[in-house]
């Protein structure tokens, strides 16, 4: 081969590689959280931003191989330890719809496709499952004594309460009182005072007692109950485009204790987490991202960022960044907080589901 021909071939190969790299850069999403703005507040104090700890980054890290630890792993299927999957041309893909943290380090997964709620121990082993009548449930919660409340808002429109032994203790309609229709429910919660349903991401409505008996009065509270039983927490999005969320804490009488404007530094796609731990610390998590300016207008610069606040005074004490996932499966509650304050993330994948545990610094 002549030197002239060799030079032409080399030049063509260089151009081909450059084109491939540019195409990949334009079409791939970036879950690395590399551009998270943690310094939007320059002075530490109530509501000031604490340093961000970045966990994860690529697909391997999203599965907990860096920055997190896989605590539950299961394949797609219907066997013990498996997770059901549903897909079709005319419906969103479905896998497990929600996770929750239970006492003693348990993890509870709503495997609604298989019509069950599955309990996993801290070692990832299946401890048991609760059979659910409907396969359309979308949320669940667990009490200190092991009672499980399940929200079915799109099927029968009911809240199911199962005892620690898994036996159905009661079921009440979602609609009633302040809740005009079952589809307006956005979550279910249970504490020492009863079973609560969230209405349109706002107030909570007490639909039943802890024994499953329906509450005909359906009283309301201004937010979700904190795990220490002392307060209620509420979040809203006054400026999604500017990446601003508002966090409020109320006492048991509904009186405002404090409110904070939480700056995430980039547009908020949706809020994914509003929870607390046993110490009463409050956690607010948001899915962040921007729409690209070129077709097919995919989300870029994505990340999940979680801010943590102490109950006394509402001081921010840390931020944690997790990788966003590109899984097609619809998930209502992909994140949960453990009693001690670790974060659990539900991560669907091609082979199955993993639940990854992340620790704040």
Per-residue model confidence as pLDDT tens digits over 89-114: 667 889 999 999 998 899 999 999 99
Rounded to two decimals, what is the model's pTM? 0.81
Residue 278: CA atoms inside 13 Å, Cβ hemisphere, count?
Answer: 11
Q: Which two tokens stand for residue 189?
A: 């919660």
- Determine the Cα angle at 85 with ends 291 and 332, to 5°: 50
pLDDT at 90: 66
Residues 6+ apart with CB under 8 A from 98: 109, 110, 138, 139, 140, 331, 332, 333, 334, 346
3-state secondary structure of 11: helix
The residues of the chain scoring below 50 in pLDDT are 1-65
> Hey, CA dihedral for 154, 203, 334, 80, is it positive or negative?
negative
- Quote helix, strand, coil % in the chain, to nearest 5: 10, 45, 45
CB–CB of 325/31 below 8 Å? yes
Q: Residue 193: its pLDDT value, please?
A: 93
Can you tell me the distance from the alpha carbon of 295 to that of 197, in angstroms, rounded to the nearest whole number?
Answer: 40
Q: How many CB atoms are closer than 10 A to CB 240?
A: 14
Let me know: does 56 contact 68? Beta carbons within 8 Å. yes
Is residue 144 within 8 A of residue 181, CB to CB? The reply is no
pLDDT value, residue 324 = 92
Residue 133: per-residue pLDDT: 87
pLDDT of residue 45: 37
In this prediction, residue 18 carries a pLDDT of: 40
Enter the tokens of residue 180.
């005009």
């Amino acid at each position: 081969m002549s030197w002239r021909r060799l030079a032409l071939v080399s030049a063509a190969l260089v151009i081909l590689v450059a084109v491939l790299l540019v195409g990949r850069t334009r079409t791939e999403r970036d879950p690395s959280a590399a551009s998270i703005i943690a310094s939007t507040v320059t002075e530490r104090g109530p509501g000031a931003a604490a340093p961000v700890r970045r966990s994860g980054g690529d697909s391997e890290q999203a599965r907990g191989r860096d920055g997190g630890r896989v605590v539950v792993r299961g394949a797609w299927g219907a066997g013990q330890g498996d997770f059901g999957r549903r897909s079709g041309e005319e419906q969103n893909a479905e896998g497990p719809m929600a996770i929750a943290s239970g006492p003693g380090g348990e993890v509870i997964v709503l495997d609604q496709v298989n019509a069950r709620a599955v309990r996993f121990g801290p070692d990832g082993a299946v401890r048991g499952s609760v059979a659910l009548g409907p396969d359309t449930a979308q949320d669940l919660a667990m009490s200190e004594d092991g009672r499980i409340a399940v929200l079915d808002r799109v099927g029968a429109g009911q809240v199911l309460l199962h005892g620690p032994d898994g036996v159905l203790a009661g079921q009440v309609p979602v609609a009633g009182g302040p809740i005009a229709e079952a589809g307006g429910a956005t979550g279910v919660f249970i504490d020492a005072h009863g079973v609560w349903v969230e209405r349109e991401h706002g107030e909570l409505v007490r639909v039943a007692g802890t024994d499953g008996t329906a509450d005909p009065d359906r009283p309301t509270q201004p937010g979700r109950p904190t795990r220490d039983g002392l307060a209620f927490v509420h979040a809203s999005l006054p400026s999604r485009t500017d990446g601003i969320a508002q966090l409020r804490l109320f006492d048991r009488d509904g009186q405002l204790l404090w409110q904070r404007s939480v700056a995430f530094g980039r547009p908020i796609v949706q809020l994914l987490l509003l929870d607390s731990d046993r110490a009463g610390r409050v956690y607010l998590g948001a899915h962040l991202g921007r729409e690209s300016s070129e077709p097919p207008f995919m989300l870029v610069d994505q990340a999940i960022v979680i801010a943590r606040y102490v109950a006394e005074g509402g001081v921010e004490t840390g931020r944690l960044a997790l990788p966003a996932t590109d899984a097609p499966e619809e998930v209502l509650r992909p994140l949960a907080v453990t009693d001690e304050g670790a974060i659990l993330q539900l991560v669907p994948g091609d082979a199955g589901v993993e639940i990854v545990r992340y620790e704040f610094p």
